[in-house]
């Protein structure tokens, strides 16, 4: 078992996508406890990656390769995990608001959350307000992420939050927003729960938020 | 008399050899046939379907013959005339001009030092400065009017703020095709009609594809409208190396050239001979901070190489310089702005934009414009090169003054020192004089100079009747979008 965990953390922190899938599958075939693979293998591995990223010892391409590996491993593991096992690593719906075509920032944020074990549904760019609400109803995320890079499209984020309220599902999820012209002030104004100035800090900010609510 | 002489009237600079340019061009042609691009616009897809291109869904692949045919039809020269009535901007090979960028959501407030949302007043102030500063040849809005009645019509109000305070030729941005139509109508009013605008365009419209290789409906709508009315336009890729383009500069240049070539063919299908300009903000995604960098040396290198390619293709080039990632106007700002200003100038790009941008393309600063006025002056001085005729070699003078002589009082000095660059804000005084004058930093001098210009400079006002007609177009747009 512990050698499995060693292999997992090794493949993960090196960002070896295929290798990680293999070792996770092998461990499962050898009757390892799925929750242990997550909590003692993958999550501590990503924790270490996150720490190195913060210390400036790892860079975006490396971190996102690890996140990609993590996401692949989670695809195998998730069906075998009970809801409680997932802990703070919940489900996220993320998209760029209507009229806005900027996608790379939103994608980086999505990958970071995948790296933290989230199941991420990326609904894409230029998504009408209704699409966010529909996706929220369908996927029941713990976290709803919105991106806007234009002052002209920022108001859509507040509208989506209002629509969530009208649909009576606002309090079932936390709302996190980002994008270059977005500010903490604006997030408070429209009643978003979390504002992340960059993708690198978003996962931590979400974790802090959920911990403060717990 | 000597033969076999080559005189460099100006310094010579290029990044790519002709063989390298061909490598990049032929690679881009390969992308056109093998990968193609996606186009989300029915009208454009129809144009491609009725041509030799292969259309599958939104995916368009284009045979090389179509590309090379289209490339022949673009003008090698465009001349712009601002509302001051001067044909002042001659866009032709190696003719360089400088101007601001557009649409910055934040402004670093000159008085409070705080970052806040950009307003109509900020765009007006920037426009006034650009009119006043001699080294700015064209004007983009610098900031974005966030206090317009409606975000869907902000472009008309923004253009109004620019027109009221600046008489120079412009590069405009628009919300969509309808917005562009209004701006064009405003432009035609100023120039005296559609034909007059075509002969003496007063602006170029800024449009962008989405890297990698994507063309959204709004951008294509604007591009096709520009083609139809023959409004000068640039279709300028903004790839970030390592994120929306390969992490190698060569790969990024291939991809962004392919993006340009697709537009070249599309516009040619719509209306051959429309004045399309090549562009590119070719930079990288910072891998520690995940920002799109406006200060990276790679921006300068890739942009200069892109200009080499544009010249080889006989296309006019819209490039980038005078911009920085620094949050305030500090040492980082000055060093980064100077570097990309310098190399974009040497490369011979025709329209160098984003001059004055700070905070990686999100924040406006008026003092930054004034700083760049000074830096462009320095850069242009370098561009003057070295005259080596007999007068300038000064052999007779050296003989006349002889060993141990002096030059300060000679006629030669009296005449030629005036060719030097004269700093307006840089301090070259001795220490004591500097202290006596208040020990001011460059930042303080910039602030004073900027305030002085804002207080005293009066742009030539718009004719009142014309102003009303222009205003009406803005108001009608607001009514339509109520
Ligand atoms: C590249 C770019 C484009 C590309 C986008 C390509 C792509 N595939 O995404 C293209 C060329 C398509 C483009 C188009 C336009 N753009 Co643009 N663009 C930019 C630019 C230069 C960089 C954006 C970027 O990629 N940054 C890098 C990424 C990684 O950063 P990011 O997106 O900010 O995301 C980070 C954080 O904000 C955060 N984050 C973002 N979203 C989210 C969401 C969540 C949930 C979380 C947690 C975090 C998070 O995490 C990310 C990583 O740290 C910015 C300037 C800038 N510096 O922001 C202008 C900018 C945003 N664009 C601007 C403009 C004006 C436009 C156009 C309107 C231009 C025009 N007139 O045609 C069009 C609009 C098209 C549309 N309808 O959306 C303006 C905005 C002005 C405004 N209105 O507020 C800017 C500020 C530049 C400028 N001054 O002109 N653009």
DSSP letters spanning A21-68: HHHHHHHHHTT--HHHIIIIIIHHHHHHHHHHHHTTSS-HHHHHHHHH
Q: How far apart are CA A130 and CA B198, in angstroms?
A: 43
Residues of chain B in contact with residue A200, where contact means CB-CB under 8 angstroms, are 289-290
Q: Which two tokens stand for residue B57?
A: 């869904």
- The residue whose CA is least distant from atom 20 of ligand 1 is B292
Q: Which two tokens stand for residue B448?
A: 């004073």
Partner-chain residue, chosen from B154, B287, B290, that has the shortest CB–CB distance to A198: B290
- Could you state, in chain order, the average pLDDT of each consecutive group of 10 residues for chain A (214 residues)? 83 94 94 92 91 92 93 92 74 97 95 92 97 97 97 97 97 97 97 96 94 89
B474, B468, B467, B457: which is closest to B125 by C-alpha?
Answer: B457
A176, A164, A11, A183: which is closest to A92 by C-alpha?
Answer: A176
DSSP state of A152: T
Give the pLDDT confidence score for residue A2 in this predicted structure. Answer: 66
Tell me: pLDDT of B341 over 90.
yes
| Domains defined along chain B, listed by start | 1-386+421-482 (3.20.20.480), 390-419 (no CATH)
Q: Which of A111, A149, A180, A202 to mutate to test the pocket of ligand 1 (most atoms within 8 A of CB)?
A: A149
Q: Work out the minimum CA distance from B209 to partner chain A, whole angstroms.
A: 11
Residue B203, SS3 per DSSP: strand
- State pLDDT tens for residues B394-449: 999 999 999 999 999 999 999 999 999 999 999 999 999 999 999 999 999 999 99
Left, alpha or beta for B25 (phi > 0: left; psi -120 to 50: alpha)? alpha
Half-sphere exposure of B418 (CA within 13 A, CB side): 4
Lowest-confidence region among A66-75, B15-24, B201-210, B334-343: A66-75
What are the start-end ranges of the H helices in B166-283?
177-191, 194-199, 217-229, 249-270
| Cross-strand pairs, B91 | B78
- The residue whose CA is least distant from atom 5 of ligand 1 is A102
DSSP state of A116: T
Q: How far apart are CA A131 and CA B1, in angstroms?
A: 79
Residue with the two structure tokens 């003692």: A40
Q: Provide the chain A residues 1-40 that lie in CB contact (below 8 A) with chain B.
A: none
Residues in the ligand 1 pocket, defined by CB under 6 Å: A 94, 99-106, 108-109, 145-147, 149-152, 176-181, 196, 198-199, 202; B 102-105, 144, 173, 207-208, 210-211, 218, 238, 240, 244, 285, 290-292, 360-362
Q: How many CB atoms neighbour CB B46 within 10 A?
A: 12
Burial of B109 (0-12, 13-18, 19+ CB in 10 A): middle
DSSP state of B462: P
Give the pLDDT confidence score for residue A82 in this predicted structure. Answer: 81
Lowest-confidence region among A30-44, B83-97, B107-121, B183-197: A30-44
Q: Which two tokens stand for residue A171?
A: 């309090």
Partner-chain residue, chosen from B243, B289, B362, that has the shortest CB–CB distance to A181: B362
Give the pLDDT confidence score for residue A85 in this predicted structure. Answer: 75
* ipTM for the whole complex: 0.91
Residues of chain A in contact with residue B141, where contact means CB-CB under 8 angstroms, are none
Sign of CA dihedral A132, A135, A136, A142: negative
Torsion of CA B217, B219, B224, B229, to 10 degrees: 140
DSSP state of A79: G
Put the strands of the sheet holding B115-117 in their side by side order: B115-117, B106-108, B363-364
CB-CB under 8 Å, B151 with A152: yes
Residue B174, SS3 per DSSP: coil
pTM confidence score = 0.96
| Cross-strand pairs, A119 | A91
Give the pLDDT confidence score for residue A84 in this predicted structure. Answer: 73
DSSP H or E segment with residue A119: strand A119-127
């Amino acid at each position: 078992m512990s050698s499995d965990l060693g292999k997992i953390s090794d493949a993960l922190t090196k960002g070896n996508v295929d290798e990680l899938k293999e070792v996770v599958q092998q461990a499962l075939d050898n009757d390892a406890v799925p929750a242990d693979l997550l909590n003692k293998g993958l999550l501590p591995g990503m924790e270490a990656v996150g720490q190195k990223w913060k210390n400036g010892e790892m860079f975006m391409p490396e971190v996102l390769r690890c996140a990609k590996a993590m996401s692949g491993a989670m695809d195998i593991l998730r069906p075998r995990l009970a809801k409680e096992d997932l802990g703070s690593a919940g489900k996220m719906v993320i998209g760029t608001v209507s009229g806005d075509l900027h996608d790379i920032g939103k994608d980086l944020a999505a990958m970071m959350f995948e790296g933290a074990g989230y199941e991420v549904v990326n609904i894409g760019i230029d998504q009408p307000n209704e699409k966010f609400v529909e996706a929220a109803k369908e996927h029941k995320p713990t976290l709803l992420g919105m991106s806007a890079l234009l002052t002209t499209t920022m108001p859509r984020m507040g509208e989506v939050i209002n629509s969530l309220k009208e649909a009576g599902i606002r309090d079932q999820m936390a709302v996190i927003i980002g994008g270059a012209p977005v500010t903490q002030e604006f997030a408070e104004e429209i009643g978003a729960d979390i504002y992340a100035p960059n993708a690198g800090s978003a996962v931590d900010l979400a974790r802090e938020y959920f911990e403060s609510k717990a | 008399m000597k033969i076999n002489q080559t005189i460099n009237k100006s310094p010579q600079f290029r990044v790519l050899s002709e063989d390298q340019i061909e490598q990049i061009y032929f690679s881009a042609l390969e992308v056109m046939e093998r990968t193609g691009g996606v186009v989300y616009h029915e009208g454009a897809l129809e144009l491609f379907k009725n041509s030799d291109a292969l259309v599958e869904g939104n995916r368009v692949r284009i045979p090389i013959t179509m590309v090379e045919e289209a490339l022949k039809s673009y003008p090698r020269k465009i001349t712009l005339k601002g509302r001051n009535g001067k044909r002042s901007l001659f866009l032709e090979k190696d003719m360089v001009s400088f101007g601001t960028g557009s649409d910055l959501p934040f402004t670093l407030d000159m008085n409070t030092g705080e970052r806040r949302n950009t307003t109509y007043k900020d765009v007006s102030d920037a426009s006034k400065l650009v009119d006043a500063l001699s080294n700015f040849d064209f004007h983009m809005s610098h900031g974005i009017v966030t206090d317009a009645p409606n975000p869907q019509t902000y472009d008309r109000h923004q253009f109004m703020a620019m027109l009221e305070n600046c008489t120079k030729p412009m590069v405009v941005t628009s919300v969509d095709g309808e917005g562009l139509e209004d701006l064009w109508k405003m432009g035609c009013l100023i120039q005296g009609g559609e034909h007059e605008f075509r002969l003496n365009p007063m602006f170029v419209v800024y449009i962008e594809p989405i890297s990698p290789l994507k063309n959204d409906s709004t951008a294509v709508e604007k591009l096709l409208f520009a083609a139809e009315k023959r409004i000068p336009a640039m279709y300028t890729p903004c790839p970030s190396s390592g994120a929306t383009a390969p992490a190698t500069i060569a790969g990024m240049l291939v991809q962004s050239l392919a993006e340009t070539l697709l537009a070249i063919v599309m516009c040619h299908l719509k209306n051959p001979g429309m004045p399309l300009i090549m562009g590119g903000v070719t930079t990288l995604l910072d891998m520690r901070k995940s920002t799109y960098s406006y200060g990276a040396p790679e921006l300068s290198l890739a942009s200069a190489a892109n200009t080499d390619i544009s010249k080889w293709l006989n296309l006019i080039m819209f490039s980038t310089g005078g911009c920085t990632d620094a949050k305030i106007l500090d040492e980082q700002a000055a060093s980064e702005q100077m570097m990309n200003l310098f190399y974009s100038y040497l490369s011979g790009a025709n329209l160098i934009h984003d001059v004055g941008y700070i905070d990686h393309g999100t924040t406006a600063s008026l003092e930054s414009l004034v700083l760049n006025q000074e830096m462009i002056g320095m850069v242009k001085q370098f561009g003057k090169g070295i005259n080596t005729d007999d007068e300038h070699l000064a052999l007779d003078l050296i003989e006349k003054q002889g060993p141990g002589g002096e030059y300060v009082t000679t006629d030669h000095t009296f005449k030629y020192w005036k060719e030097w660059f004269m700093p307006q804000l840089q301090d070259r005084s001795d220490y004591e004089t500097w202290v006596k004058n208040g020990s001011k930093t460059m930042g303080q001098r910039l602030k004073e100079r900027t305030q002085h210009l804002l207080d005293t400079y009066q742009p030539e006002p718009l004719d009142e009747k014309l102003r009303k007609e222009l205003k009406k177009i803005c108001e009608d747009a607001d009514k339509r979008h109520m």
